[in-house]
Amino acid sequence: MKDKIEQLKFSAVIGILIQVVVFTLFIFWNGITQSTFVMIFLLVFETAILFYIISTYERDLNKQIVNLKEIVGTETYDAFLFGNIGLVVYDEDYKVIWMSDYFKSVKVNAKDMKVTEWLPEIIPLFNGDVDVIDVEYEDFVFNVVRNSEARLLYFKDITTEYRVIEKYTNDAPVMGLIHLDNYLEYTQYEEESRVYFVDSIVKQNLLNWASENDIFIRRLRNDRYLVLLNHEVFEEISKTNFSIMHKIRREAQNNDLALSLSMGFALGTSEFTALEELSNDLLELAQSRGGDQVAVRVMNEEIRYYGGNTQSRERRSKARVRAISQSVRELVDASDKVILVFHKNMDFDCLGSGLILSKMIKDQKKDVYLVTESGGIESKLLSSLKVNGSILEKDHKFIDEKEALNLLTYNTLVVLLDHHNDTVSNGADVIEQANKVVIIDHHRRTTDYNFQPVLAYIESSASSTTEMVTEMLQYQEKRVAITPLEATYAYTGLIVDTNGFINRVGSRTFEAASILQKFGADVRYANELLDDSFDDIQKKNKIFENVVRKVDEGVMYAPVFDGTIIPRGLISSAADELLSVQDIKAVFVVSAISNDRVGISARSRGEFNVQKIMEKLGGGGHFNAAAVQKENMSIEALVAQLETVVEAYLEEVYNDESNIVG
């Protein structure tokens, strides 16, 4: 408004000057006459009137602003001052034309400045995105409310309250547990000098890190530490993506050691017993996901993960397998019957592990049922069951979920095989109503359970659930009679989940394969069960035709945009084949898998954690083999989301390496 008044004044002056010039030229040509005096009088009168009008308008405007005290009332205005509330009036160009006395008292002056230039954070308030906003200016924090009709802003000084809350937040307690992965395996049989060397790599670096960051640390046992810190310190170390984790891994790698850290941090409450319980759960979660990562949770919020960018190694001991076998046996003995449930669209690993476990339970003289007729079956497994189903039915009871619910009692044991999340289970209702639930799975844990298992045996370093169950055969009270056909199905599960013994293979995988062969597994027939049909080959070619290669990233995308429905098993197989291309670290095959579902099958060579990427999209899996399914989403939209997540992952990996302190 002030600018417009100045512009009006300027225009008036220009107009008067023009009249003076014209008047001068008139005198020059005509000389001084009687009319000259009349014109001089009119010019002076016009000038006076014009400036009187402008000054009166300006005075009235200023009076209108200054008299805001009268508008709101003396008592209200004084209350504003007492309550540290400032008032700001702005014009239609958002320039400040008046500030109340409060701002003078705190020496803040933004008059004639645009509000959005003075306080850029206030823009959402003017856009209508928010009704109130907190902004910081110099040493002050203001709570700002806008009255758009009056072009008025109310500034409430909340600096003191803000600083108190900030200090309370910064000083809030954080509890963490740190586990040295593989430490005991490396030190229990080593000489003292070698143990001292390992300690210098791991423990001393850990203690130095804690000291540098003002973190309280105490050893609980040789491979585990308790840490206490405040929220401010926690925020600082999390900004570095927990650089100590990457430093110790790099130091270990340089010395040919497979050592790493797993950590769990709990915050969001001042109750130390709750923090202790939560940090224990988080550490267990980090380890079950393969270790070398951090799990963080604010009480009652989602879990955040850091790290996990290296493939998990074999960590389970045979002593643990023996203990798990004993626990499962005791749970079966204490149950009236057992129901085995699998993930939707069950595959050979599901059925193979189920057949082995079913025989083990039958040997304990308990009824056991396999939920196979709900949730779908992978196409090649379904084809094989059309041939062999009647033979398997002689020794096994296959049912659907409805039948399972009718059989379920308070004393029934429900076992989840090859999955640990009820949302992907073919027996979700059974799990929900069950009193006793056991999990046996080799996928990395993704989140909290929606139920409370009495036993959770999750080993992300295992190649397959079949491997885990087959190992348990050795610790049964008597030899379990596994038929050659059952052993062949279990062996096929090993082949599928290892991509022909290429991925996620450890010594225990070959031991399991050897055990199954001793029971008569037909290796040739197992591979024949996985042969592609001519239609399968045509659909795979459709995938190969759509390959997009990102050389710099070492990533290959294969999206099938034309809507062709390709079964999950085929897109997984195609992803495995594409991974054999030179210089490719990761492959993502995207296709419609049903009329209303699209899916991604992701594979990597072991340097690229595709499980983390699929998790961000709502899926899961293993470090180097994962997948996700989406309902009512286009291929284009899913590919766009995928590319965004992959770019974020690559940036995270780059930052992880950059944050390693040398």
* pLDDT tens-place string over residues 586-634: 999 999 998 888 999 999 987 788 988 998 998 888 888 899 999 889 9
DSSP state of 422: G
Of 458, 411, 416, give the one whose Cα is nearest residue 437.
416
Which parts of 534-584 fold into alpha helices (H)? 534-544, 568-578
CA distance 529 to 487: 13
Backbone dihedral angles phi then psi of residue 311, each to the nearest 5 degrees: -75, 140
Confidence of residue 661 (pLDDT cuts 50, 70, 90): very low
Q: Is 70 exceeded by the pLDDT of residue 482?
A: yes
Q: What pLDDT sits at residue 12?
A: 62
> What would the two tokens of residue 30 be?
């005509």
Alpha-carbon 409 to chain mean position:
38
Segment 500-524 shows an average pLDDT of 92
DSSP state of 531: P
CA distance 281 to 288: 10
Give burial (CB, 10 Å; 0-12/13-18/19+) of 615: buried
Q: What pLDDT sits at residue 330?
A: 94
Q: What is the pLDDT of residues 15-59, one digit of tens each?
A: 666 766 666 766 666 666 666 666 666 666 666 666 656 666 556
551-579 as b/e, with b when 16 or more CB fall inside 10 Å? eeebbbbbbbeeeeebbbbbbbbbbbbbb
The domain 318-528: what is its CATH number? 3.90.1640.10
Query: Which of 41-50, 293-302, 517-526 is the least confident region?
Result: 41-50
The residue to which tokens 């130091």 are assigned: 251
Q: Is 90 exceeded by the pLDDT of residue 353?
A: yes
Of 251, 210, 248, give the one whose Cα is nearest residue 228.
210
> What would the two tokens of residue 96 be?
């400040």
Q: What is the pLDDT of residues 207-226, one digit of tens each?
A: 999 999 999 999 998 889 99
Q: Is 60 exceeded by the pLDDT of residue 129?
A: yes
> What would the two tokens of residue 407 be?
């059989």
Confidence of residue 522 (pLDDT cuts 50, 70, 90): very high
**535-658 is a CATH 3.10.310.30 domain:** yes
Q: What is the pLDDT of residues 130-154, one digit of tens each?
A: 888 888 888 889 989 988 777 888 8
- Beta-carbon contacts of 631 under 8 Å, excluding residues fewer than 6 positions away, are 596, 597
CA distance 523 to 656: 43
Q: What pLDDT sits at residue 662?
A: 39
Q: Is 70 exceeded by the pLDDT of residue 582?
A: yes
- Beta-carbon contacts of 651 under 8 Å, excluding residues fewer than 6 positions away, are none
Segment 554-581 shows an average pLDDT of 91
CA dihedral sign of residues 507, 508, 513, 518: positive
In the chain, the largest separation of any two C-alpha atoms, in whole Å, equals: 137
Taking a C-beta distance cutoff of 8 angstroms, is the pair 613, 587 a contact? no
**Sheet of strand 260-267, all strands in order from the earlier edge strand to the far edge:** 216-221, 224-230, 173-181, 260-267, 293-298, 303-307
Q: What pLDDT sits at residue 198?
A: 81
CA distance 67 to 70: 5
Confidence of residue 78 (pLDDT cuts 50, 70, 90): low
Q: What pLDDT sits at residue 313?
A: 57
Segment 57-81 shows an average pLDDT of 56
CA distance 379 to 1: 75
Q: What is the pLDDT of residues 223-247, one digit of tens each?
A: 899 999 999 999 999 998 898 988 8
Reported as type and span, the H/E element at residue 25 is helix 2-30
Q: Identity (one letter) of the amino acid at 432? A: E
Confidence of residue 637 (pLDDT cuts 50, 70, 90): very high
Q: What pLDDT sits at residue 125?
A: 86
Confidence of residue 491 (pLDDT cuts 50, 70, 90): very high
DSSP state of 266: E
CA distance 411 to 332: 10
Question: For the chain, how far is it from start to end, CA to CA, in angstroms?
Answer: 60
Segment 289-301 shows an average pLDDT of 87
Taking a C-beta distance cutoff of 8 angstroms, is the pair 470, 512 a contact? yes
Segment 340-361 shows an average pLDDT of 96
Q: Is 80 exceeded by the pLDDT of residue 336?
A: yes
Q: What pLDDT sits at residue 4?
A: 56
CA distance 501 to 506: 9
Taking a C-beta distance cutoff of 8 angstroms, is the pair 380, 569 a contact? yes
Q: Identity (one letter) of the amino acid at 334? A: A
| Mean of the per-residue pLDDT values of the chain | 85
Backbone dihedral angles phi then psi of residue 186, each to the nearest 5 degrees: -85, -25
What is the residue extent of each domain of the chain?
2-66, 88-166, 178-307, 318-528, 535-658
CA distance 181 to 258: 8
Q: Is 80 exceeded by the pLDDT of residue 310?
A: no
> What CATH fold (topology level) applies to the domain 178-307?
Alpha-Beta Plaits (3.30.70)
Confidence of residue 346 (pLDDT cuts 50, 70, 90): very high
CA distance 186 to 182: 6
Of 447, 177, 418, 467, give the one whose Cα is nearest residue 316.
467
Which parts of 312-459 fold into alpha helices (H)? 318-333, 348-362, 379-392, 401-407, 428-433
Taking a C-beta distance cutoff of 8 angstroms, is the pair 260, 291 a contact? yes
Confidence of residue 257 (pLDDT cuts 50, 70, 90): confident
Confidence of residue 98 (pLDDT cuts 50, 70, 90): confident
As a whole-number percent, the residues of the chain with pLDDT over 90 amount to 44
Q: What pLDDT sits at residue 31?
A: 65
105-126 as b/e, with b when 16 or more CB fall inside 10 Å? eeebebeeeebeebbeebeebb
Q: What pLDDT sits at residue 444?
A: 79
Of 20, 17, 52, give the one whose Cα is nearest residue 39.
20
Q: What pLDDT sits at residue 229?
A: 96
- Beta-carbon contacts of 366 under 8 Å, excluding residues fewer than 6 positions away, are 332, 333, 335, 336, 337, 338
Q: What pLDDT sits at residue 69?
A: 56
Higher pLDDT, residue 493 or 76: 493
Of 398, 319, 324, 331, give the one whose Cα is nearest residue 358.
398
Segment 479-498 shows an average pLDDT of 95
**In terms of DSSP bridges, do strands 173-181 and 260-267 run parallel, antiparallel, or are they unpaired?**
antiparallel
Q: Is 50 exceeded by the pLDDT of residue 660?
A: no
Segment 549-576 shows an average pLDDT of 89
The pairs formed by 67-74 with CB atoms below 8 angstroms and a separation of 24 or more are: 68/98, 68/100
Taking a C-beta distance cutoff of 8 angstroms, is the pair 628, 619 a contact? yes
CA distance 531 to 632: 31
